[in-house]
Structure 1
Amino acid sequence: MSTARRRPARICAVAAAIALACVACSSGAAPAHRSSSGPPSGTPTSTSAPATSTPPATPSTRPATTSHGPSAAQIRAAKRVRALAGARGHSGYSVAIRDTTTGATFSTGATSGMYEGSIAKVDIAETLMLQHQQRHTALSSSDRQLVTAMIEHSDNNAANTLWTREGGREAVGKANATLGLRHTTLGPGIYWGFTRTSATDQLALLQALVEKHGPLTDASQYYVLHLMRNVESDQRWGVATLADDPDDTSLKNGWLASSLDDNRWLVDSLGIVRRHGHTYLMAVLTQHGSSFAGGIDLVQDIARAALPGV
C-alpha cells in the first residue's frame, strides 16, 4: 500500500487531547509494518475454515418498505442496482443508505450472509472502545498503535491481535448486541474476515458513530471517525467517491479473493458521506466477483444507483 497521507499536526493534537481526556487516547504513530493489498490474514485463503460457514446470500429483488410500501424512487433504485449486479455476474450484493439529515433509509439485496473482509475492522474498533468505556479505562499505548494501524493502514496483524486481546468471537458478539447488529454471524476462530453480515447491520455500526446518547461516548465516536478519515490514499475508493470531499469521508473498505468462494472476490465499502448538504451512512457489499478492480467499479456504480432511492 502507499504511504499514509500526512495529517495536519493540529488535527492530530486535537484528537489526542480529546481521546486522552475520556476513553481513547491519541492516535499515535502506526507501526512501521504496513499490510499488503492482498487478502487479510484474518481471512484465510486455505480451505481450513469450514466450507459450510457461509451459505450463499440470496438477494431480495425488492427494496425495504415502509407500512405504505416502497416508493416509485425506491423501486427504480432497486431495479437499477439489481441490473448492475446482474450484468456483471454478481449474484451477491447488499446495499443500505440512511440520510441522517432527513431520516430516510433505503436498502436492497441480501439481508444476511455477506462476507465482510476488512470492514470487520470497524466492528473490532468499536468493540475496543466499548470495552474501555465499560471499564472506565483509557486505551494503552499498544492499543492505540494497533487500532491506528488496523483502521488507517488496514493492517491485518493488528486486527488479529486486537480480536484476540478483546476476547474473540464471544466479546465481539456481546458488543454487537449492544451496537444493534441483528444479522451478523462472526467468523470462526481468528477468522474475523469471514464474518457474515448485511448492509443494514453495517449501518448500525455507522449509526453508533454518529448518534447522540448511543452506546459510544462522544470521545469514542470522535476517535474512531478520526481514524476512518485518515485511511491511506490508495484505499479512498468506494462510497467515498460520492462525497463532495472524498478526503473528508470516514471510510473503511474490505476486499478478498476467497477460496471458500472459488477464489472469487468480495469487495465492500462503508462510510459516512457528506454530499450536497446531506450526510449519508452508506454500506455497499458485493461478492462472487471475477476481479478486484471490477468489484471496486461495481461498488461505486451501485452506490450511485442506490442513492436516489433514499
Structure 2
Amino acid sequence: MLHGRRPCRVLRDSREQVENAAEFGIEHNLGLNLPAMGGLARIPCIERNGTTSVRAVTPARRALRGDGRHRVSLDQAIRTTRQGGDDMQVKNTETSLRRQPLDLSADRRGQVRTPLVASNSWVPDGPHQCLHTSVRRADRRKGNELMLSETTSKVMWGTISVAASFAFVISVSAPSRAPSSTPDPHAASAAPSVSALAPAHAPSTSRRTGKSENAVRRLMGGVIECASRKPRLAHALTRDIARALAGRASRASIALYDRTTRTSCAYRADKHYDSASIVKPIVLGALLHATGGDLSEEEQDLARNMIVNSDNESTYVLWDMIGPDRIQDFLDEAGMTNTAIDEAGFMGLTQVTAKDQATLLELLTGEDDAVLDEEERAYVLELMRDVQEDQRWGAPAGAPSDADVQVKNGWLQRSEENLMNPWDRGDWKVHSMSAITGRAYDYGLVVLTENNRVPEDEHPDVGWGYGMDTIESVAKAIHRNLYPGR
C-alpha cells in the first residue's frame, strides 16, 4: 500500500486519490492468484496490462545496461512461471469458472455492456477485453451462451508478451539510429553478440560544465562519454559514434583526445584486449627509455622493421633484449597503469586498453621530456608515419588531407582451438591507433575491437576485414565532426 501512497503524497493529491493509488498498488501486485474483485474480470485484468507495460521499461533498461549474459535463462523463467500457474488452485485464479453469469446488452452509445447478475457494475466488451477472462455469459435476447475460457498459462503468456513487446518497441524506436538499407551478412552469420540482444543506442544527454559541454549516450551495455569546449561537438560525437557502431557485431573500445578543440571521448576505454601489434610502439618506447635513445645500427634496423613493416621476429629480438622488467618500467613511467605484460612472454597477448594506448599517443605528441625527450618522441612518430601503405588503414580513415598521420595497427585471430572462452572461437582482434598532427591538428584516436567472427565457410580474412570496417566507420564519424570538410 505504501508503494501506491507515497507518490501521491508527494504530489499532494486528494485522500480519495491516495486510497485509489494504494488500491492499485495492492491489486496489481497480487498477481494471478486473485479472484475477480467485485465480480469484475476487468479488475485487475485490463489495468494490469497497462501497469505491466510501464513496469516492462525497468527490466528492459536494466538489460540494456548489461551485455546480454545472465544466470537464469528466459526458458527457465517461463517454465517456472507455468509450473506455478499449473499448481495454483482454480478457485483462486481469474480463470475460475465460479463466476456469476453475465447478461449481454448494448448501451445507448452502441457499446456492448455486460451487467453482472449480482451487481450493477459492467465491463466493456470488444478489442480491449482481457483474453484470460473465464466467465459464463448469457445473451437473453438470442438465448445462446458464450463461454470464454483461457488457462493460467495464457495469462502468463499475455504478461510476458506485454513485457517483451515493450522492450522491442524501445529497441526499434531509439532516435538517431542510422537506418540500414541492406542487411549485414557478417553480423547475421556471426555468433550472437550484445548488439543483437539490445538496442544499439539510446538518446544522449548533454550538459555544460564551466566552459565545456559534456554528452553521454548509452550503447550496447556501455556508455559513450564526450566533452568539448566546442559548442554541440560533444553531442554530435556521441550521436555519430553510436550510429557508426549500430548493428555491428564487433565489440569496440574507443579513446579520443584533441588538444586543439579541447575534446575527449571514451567508450569502454578501460576494457582489456589482446594487444596484437599495437604493443610494438610500447616496445620501441621501452627500448629508447632503457638506452637513453642511443641505439645501435642493429637496434635501429630492428625498430624500423618492427614499426614500419610490423615484423614479429624483429619485435621478439628487441623484446628479449629489453626484458619484461624494463618494459614494465617504461609502462610505469608513462602512466600506462592498466597495461599488463603476458606472463608467458607472448608480446601479442599483452593486455592493453584504449585509454592506455591514447596515453602513449599523448606522450609521443606532447612536450614533456620526463619519459622520452623530444628527439626520442620524434623518432617513434617518424617510424609510425612511414608505416607501409597496406597497413595505413583504420583510425586514419577520413582524417584531414593536409594532416600528418602516424599510425600503428594490430590484428590477431585467437583462436579456433581455444574453446574455453567462446569469445575466442574464430575471433579476430583488430585494433588501430593514430596520432594526427601538423598545421593546427593535434589529436589522437584509438579504436580496439574484438568479436569480429568468421562466418561459417568463409575465408578467415573476412573477420579481419570486418574489424577494419568497424574501426573505419568510427574513425570517419569522428574526423568528420572534429574537422568537417577537411
User: TM-score, structure 1 length as denominator?
Assistant: 0.71
Runs of 4+ with >4 A deviation? none
Aligned equivalent of 1:265, options 416, 428, 432:
428
Q: 1:202 to 1:283 in 2, by over 3 A?
A: same
Q: 1:81 to 1:244 in 2, by over 3 A?
A: closer
Structure 1 residues 28-54: Cα deviation after superposition (integer angstroms, max 9, x where no partner): xxxxxxxxxxxxxxxxxxxxxxxxxxx
Q: 1:243 to 1:306 in 2, by over 3 A?
A: closer
Aligned equivalent of 1:184, options 323, 336, 339:
339
Aligned equivalent of 2:248, options 76, 80, 88:
88
In the alignment, which residue of structure 1 is the partner of 2:447? 284
Aligned equivalent of 1:61, options 222, 247, 268:
222
In the alignment, which residue of structure 2 is the partner of 1:241? 397
Following the alignment from structure 1 to structure 2, what is the Cα–Cα distance between the partners of residues 103 and 227? Answer: 27
Aligned equivalent of 1:294, options 466, 472, 479:
466
Following the alignment from structure 1 to structure 2, what is the Cα–Cα distance between the partners of residues 300 and 286? Answer: 11
Q: 1:225 to 1:174 in 2, by over 3 A?
A: same
Structure 1 residues 205-241: Cα deviation after superposition (integer angstroms, max 9, x where no partner): 1111111123111110111111111111100111122
In the alignment, which residue of structure 1 is the partner of 2:127? none
Q: Which runs of no fewer than 5 residues in structure 1 stay unpaired?
A: 1-57
Following the alignment from structure 1 to structure 2, what is the Cα–Cα distance between the partners of residues 143 and 286? Answer: 31
Q: 1:199 to 1:309 in 2, by over 3 A?
A: farther
Q: 1:247 to 1:75 in 2, by over 3 A?
A: closer
Structure 1 residue identity aligned to 2:430 = V
Following the alignment from structure 2 to structure 1, what is the Cα–Cα distance between the partners of residues 266 and 438? Answer: 19
Q: Which runs of no fewer than 5 residues in structure 2 stay unpaired?
A: 1-218, 419-423, 454-462
1:244–1:275 CA contact under 8 A, matched in 2: no
- Give SS of 1:249's match: strand
In the alignment, which residue of structure 1 is the partner of 2:300? 144
Following the alignment from structure 1 to structure 2, what is the Cα–Cα distance between the partners of residues 218 and 203? Answer: 18
Structure 1 residue identity aligned to 2:464 = F
Shift of residue 129, structure 1, vs aligned partner: 0.7
Q: 1:60 to 1:221 in 2, by over 3 A?
A: farther
In the alignment, which residue of structure 2 is the partner of 1:196? 351
1:236–1:247 CA contact under 8 A, matched in 2: no
Following the alignment from structure 2 to structure 1, what is the Cα–Cα distance between the partners of residues 242 and 428? Answer: 18
User: TM-score, structure 2 length as denominator?
Assistant: 0.47
Following the alignment from structure 2 to structure 1, what is the Cα–Cα distance between the partners of residues 220 and 315? Answer: 29
Following the alignment from structure 2 to structure 1, what is the Cα–Cα distance between the partners of residues 221 and 482? Answer: 15
Structure 1 residue identity aligned to 2:449 = T
- Give SS of 2:357's match: helix
- Give SS of 2:256's match: strand
- Give SS of 2:390's match: helix
- Give SS of 2:432's match: strand
Structure 2 residue identity aligned to 1:113 = H
Whether 1:226 aligns to 2:382 is yes
Following the alignment from structure 1 to structure 2, what is the Cα–Cα distance between the partners of residues 128 and 210? Answer: 18
Shift of residue 72, structure 1, vs aligned partner: 6.5
In the alignment, which residue of structure 2 is the partner of 1:303? 475
In the alignment, which residue of structure 2 is the partner of 1:126? 285
Q: 1:173 to 1:246 in 2, by over 3 A?
A: farther
Structure 1 residue identity aligned to 2:393 = W
Shift of residue 158, structure 1, vs aligned partner: 0.5
Larger RCO of the pair (alpha carbons < 8 Å, separation 6+): 1
Following the alignment from structure 2 to structure 1, what is the Cα–Cα distance between the partners of residues 221 and 312? Answer: 32
2:288–2:294 CA contact under 8 A, matched in 1: no
Q: 1:196 to 1:306 in 2, by over 3 A?
A: farther
Greater Cα offset, 77-86 or 185-194: 77-86
Aligned-residue Cα RMSD (Å) equals 2.6
- Give SS of 1:284's match: strand
Shift of residue 188, structure 1, vs aligned partner: 2.7
Greater Cα offset, 282-291 or 75-84: 75-84
Following the alignment from structure 1 to structure 2, what is the Cα–Cα distance between the partners of residues 174 and 292? Answer: 33
What is the percentage of aligned positions where both structures have the same residue? Answer: 27
In the alignment, which residue of structure 2 is the partner of 1:161? 317
